[in-house]
Chains A and B, each alone.
Chain A
């Protein structure tokens, strides 16, 4: 069974930094493309960004609102995904979910965000 356990959330001042972690188990982490998705209280889902497998140089992609401030990384030896958040803004306050970006079943069939952690809450406030 896939398990994704996020940690590291908390209260931080605007302009501050925070590092989230996601411990993965129950699947082969190394080749998986991993992603972070967030959800502000009472709001919708927002894809934050992803990291490809280390075999693909661990290349990353980010949503426009976080590009240049957030960095996603991974440690395959620990089956752990990270999200380094810098220059935090009030609008970054959200529940941050770790998820498997997608499974590519065939060239025309892609299954995104099949498994989710329970999330870790980030609150940016003065």
Chain B
């Protein structure tokens, strides 16, 4: 069974830059997997940040950007702020036609 991998946790200093990644347990992530990124604060529903690898969702700050980094999809946050501290999830579309979420990354800003 294919597993989507994310760093369980990451820490960034206020004002700093952090890159979170999204990989596959077997094989490489590509743009044809339509990798997308979501932000979820406690008690809230997920919010779309990035879809189809690089496209920023409407209303999302340009501090958030998506890219491919080697064989993984990546989410880069620049100028980290206190309210960026929450969980980040990626999701991948497999050739079998199903979506698989990564386990999420808990980002700490300190």
Which A residues are within 8 Å of any B CB, using their own CB?
35, 37, 44-47, 50, 61-64, 97, 101-102, 105, 108-114, 116-119
* Interface residue B1 (Cβ < 8 Å from any Cβ of A): yes
Is B34 a contact of A112 with CB atoms below 8 Å?
yes
Is the interface on chain B under 10, 10 to 19, 20 to 34, or 35 or more residues?
Answer: 20 to 34
Residues of A contacting B97 in the complex (Cβ-Cβ under 8 angstroms): 61
Q: List 6 A-B contacts (CB under 8 A).
A: A45-B91, A47-B100, A111-B51, A112-B93, A114-B57, A116-B46
Interface flags for B95-110 (1: CB within 8 Å of A; 0: not) read 0011111111000000
Is B104 a contact of A45 with CB atoms below 8 Å?
yes
What would 6 more interface pairs be, CB under 8 Å, given A50-B99, A63-B100, A111-B48?
A: A47-B99, A62-B98, A110-B52, A111-B51, A111-B57, A113-B48
Q: How many A-B residue pairs have CB under 8 A?
A: 66
Question: Looking at chain A's contact residues, is the secondary structure mostly helix, strand, loop, or mixed?
Answer: strand
* Interface residue B55 (Cβ < 8 Å from any Cβ of A): yes
Residues of B contacting A110 in the complex (Cβ-Cβ under 8 angstroms): 34, 51-52, 93
Residues of A contacting B38 in the complex (Cβ-Cβ under 8 angstroms): 45, 113
Given A108-B52, A109-B52, check contact A116 B104 (CB 8 Å).
no
